[in-house]
Amino acid sequence: MGFKPHGKHLINGEWIGTEESFKSSPASGEAHSFSVGSVELVDQACQAAEEAFWTYGYSSRESRAAFLNAIADEIEARGDILTEIGSQETGLPEARLQGERGRTTGQLRFFAQHILKGDYLDRRHDEALPDRAPLPRPDLKMVQRPIGPVGVFGASNFPLAFSTAGGDTASALAAGCPVVVRGHSAHPGTGEVVTEAINAAIKSCKLHPGVFSLIQGGPREVGAAIVQHPLINAVGFTGSLAGGRALFDLCAQRPKPIPFFGELGSINPMFMLPEAIKARGEDIAKGWAGSLVMGAGQFCTNPGIGVILEEQADAVMSALKEALAGVGAQVMLTQGIATSYQKGVEGIEATAGVHALVSTDSSGREACPNLFKVSSSEFLKNHNLSEEVFGPVGLLITVKSVDEMIDLAKGFEGQLTATIHMDAGDTDLAKRLTPVLERKAGRLLVNGFPTGVEVCDTMVHGGPYPASTNFGATSVGSMAIRRFLRPVCYQAFPDAVLPADLQG
């Protein structure tokens, strides 16, 4: 016990301290000092990343897989310190941090395996047709190549799995792209320990030190400088709609615009179909309550909305109220997130047509669950009800008919997930809903709850705006690597000059 971070940035293999510092705001334990980032440090990190790309971007898949596995080993070796500092900084329970660590190292090993298989390269070959008339065809080959240095913003709600060595970093490094991370100020000590692990892996694998740099929190110019730096080719981000949109706009306004892969969250509607509610309304309600309050509701896949026929609402309300009444106050990740939650709940409660089913007062850095009810017509009139309120708050939307349920589905904005609770007797309605929901969400579920995102080949953690800024991409699962690749076609190239992955 008693780990004390040194509070420095890692730039091109050097731990650099700056005179100006900020204090962490841990949920428990001692606050620590961390060096403030600067635009100059961003430039140094990006220059080093570009230099590193000339070797790392052309390295073998085997060596990158070994690097990813080495990072996972180094993180595991620091497991106890990570749990200690992580739970102090974020207030997340130790068991959750241990689980998240396993997910983070599992993700790194998963990408190592993925690149070794080589399918992601999407290699294609159109053989030469020298005798084709009227024109011969040259030999054409295609492969996916890494795009160069990438900027990554750590997320507040997953200090390990979506932060310093999280999915964005793992998929970029797997692709062959050096990474410059802007550490999240909610967990700078956790970020520092993970960076120590990455740095140790860089050394043991004898890679260019510019492959990874961490710039700790600081003024907003630091994040802006990363996305605007001419040597950065794409950005991975998980966070708020306001922050993500501001950074997305900066990417688009650059002289050379670059893609911004922002995962900005959603309200994840669940449609509770009539036969399912008749058969097991109470169980669905209890499951919803459990998913809603898990981790104080601080998941981007938190199911914030339940849609039900008005005549069936009573079948779930008492079970929901009972399940939520037993949940006490939970510590939130940051004071800012707790304050936004409290304001967000007040905003819902003050909206015309909204009725409180469970109304609690949260104070300080804590959140208690809240549940409200509103009709479909009032929901569609009040846009604020479509906005994510990060935390354990649910909204039950009542519809008068199944047709109104379909119309409501059409009115939703882009989502990460949409869920249908159904029984066999609901099949026709589910068949009408699915084509609508496909246009709204990246992942559709039947009879489940969206919290818990599997890291696998089929996962899509993304969706139409505002769920993400890039609907063709996912930030979880093996397809996440596609964000950091670019197809290149080689026409009439001799074998010896082709990239190694195309030779032979």
Residue in 83, 169, 240, 362 binding ligand NAP, rule: CB under 6 A: 240
Alpha-carbon distance of 413 to 386, in angstroms, equals 8
Nearer Cβ to ligand NAP (247/277): 247
Please state the closest distance from residue 55 (CB atom) to ligand NAP, in A: 29
Residue in 12, 35, 88, 157 binding ligand NAP, rule: CB under 6 A: 157
Please state the closest distance from residue 292 (CB atom) to ligand NAP, in A: 15
Residue in 32, 96, 182, 421 binding ligand NAP, rule: CB under 6 A: 182
Give the x/- contact pattern for ligand NAP in 262-281, rule: CB under 6 A: -xxx----------------
Please state the closest distance from residue 369 (CB atom) to ligand NAP, in A: 16
Nearer Cβ to ligand NAP (118/452): 452
Encoded amino acid at 211, one letter: V
Please state the closest distance from residue 241 (CB atom) to ligand NAP, in A: 7
Residue 339 CA: distances (Å) to CA of 287, 328, 335, 342, 393 = 27, 17, 6, 5, 14
Q: Which of 261, 254, 232, 236 is nearest to 50 (CA)?
A: 232
Take residue 149 and report the two structure tokens written for it. 């240095």
Nearer Cβ to ligand NAP (55/340): 340
Encoded amino acid at 474, one letter: T
Alpha-carbon distance of 243 to 226, in angstroms, equals 14
* Residue 123 touches ligand NAP, criterion: CB under 6 A: no
Q: Is 342 exposed, middle or buried (0-12, 13-18, 19+ CB in 10 A)?
A: buried
**Within 13 Å, how many C-alpha atoms sit on residue 126's CB side?**
11
Nearer Cβ to ligand NAP (53/260): 260
Nearer Cβ to ligand NAP (107/375): 107
Alpha-carbon distance of 77 to 84, in angstroms, equals 14
Assess whether 127 carries a catalytic annotation: no
**Part of the chain binding ligand NAP (CB under 6 A), chosen from 83-91, 127-135, 151-159, 376-384:** 151-159
CB of 181 closer than 8 Å to CB of 191: yes
Residue in 153, 212, 288, 449 binding ligand NAP, rule: CB under 6 A: 153
* Residue 243 touches ligand NAP, criterion: CB under 6 A: yes
Alpha-carbon 82 to chain mean position: 20
* Residue 184 touches ligand NAP, criterion: CB under 6 A: yes
* Residue 238 touches ligand NAP, criterion: CB under 6 A: yes
Assess whether 300 carries a catalytic annotation: yes
> What backbone torsions phi and psi does residue 320 show, to the nearest 5 degrees?
-65, -45
Alpha-carbon distance of 15 to 153, in angstroms, equals 19
Strand partners, 419: 270, 445
CB of 175 closer than 8 Å to CB of 146: yes
Nearer Cβ to ligand NAP (5/146): 5
Alpha-carbon distance of 202 to 210, in angstroms, equals 9
* Residue 111 touches ligand NAP, criterion: CB under 6 A: no
Instruction: From the candidates 89, 263, 388, 404, give the one annotated as an active-site residue.
Output: 263
* Residue 246 touches ligand NAP, criterion: CB under 6 A: yes
* Residue 217 touches ligand NAP, criterion: CB under 6 A: yes
Q: Show the beta-strand stretches assigned E in 264-316.
A: 269-272, 305-309
Q: Which of 379, 431, 386 is nearest to 406 (CA)?
A: 431
Residues near 33 by beta carbon (within 8 Å), at least 6 away in sequence? 7, 21, 22, 23, 24
Please state the closest distance from residue 395 (CB atom) to ligand NAP, in A: 16
* Residue 415 touches ligand NAP, criterion: CB under 6 A: no
Instruction: From the candidates 300, 368, 388, 404, give the one annotated as an active-site residue.
Output: 300
* Residue 261 touches ligand NAP, criterion: CB under 6 A: no
Encoded amino acid at 116, one letter: L
Nearer Cβ to ligand NAP (153/261): 153
* Residue 377 touches ligand NAP, criterion: CB under 6 A: no
Nearer Cβ to ligand NAP (209/464): 464
Give the x/- contact pattern for ligand NAP in 292-321, rule: CB under 6 A: --------x---------------------
Residue in 155, 201, 396, 399 binding ligand NAP, rule: CB under 6 A: 155
- Tally of helices (H runs) and strands (E runs) in the chain: 14, 21
Q: Show the beta-strand stretches assigned E in 27-73.
A: 33-35
Nearer Cβ to ligand NAP (354/476): 476
Please state the closest distance from residue 240 (CB atom) to ligand NAP, in A: 3
Alpha-carbon 162 to chain mean position: 6
Residue in 247, 258, 441, 479 binding ligand NAP, rule: CB under 6 A: 247
**Part of the chain binding ligand NAP (CB under 6 A), chosen from 24-32, 73-81, 86-94, 215-223:** 215-223
* Residue 223 touches ligand NAP, criterion: CB under 6 A: yes
Residue in 25, 47, 340, 377 binding ligand NAP, rule: CB under 6 A: 340
Residue 83 CA: distances (Å) to CA of 88, 249, 295, 414 = 8, 36, 16, 35
Residue 266 CA: distances (Å) to CA of 238, 304, 390, 400, 416 = 12, 8, 9, 25, 6
| Active-site residue list | 263, 300
Applying CB under 6 A, which residues contact ligand NAP?
153, 155-157, 182, 184-185, 217, 220, 223-224, 238-240, 243-244, 246-247, 263-265, 300, 337, 340, 388, 390
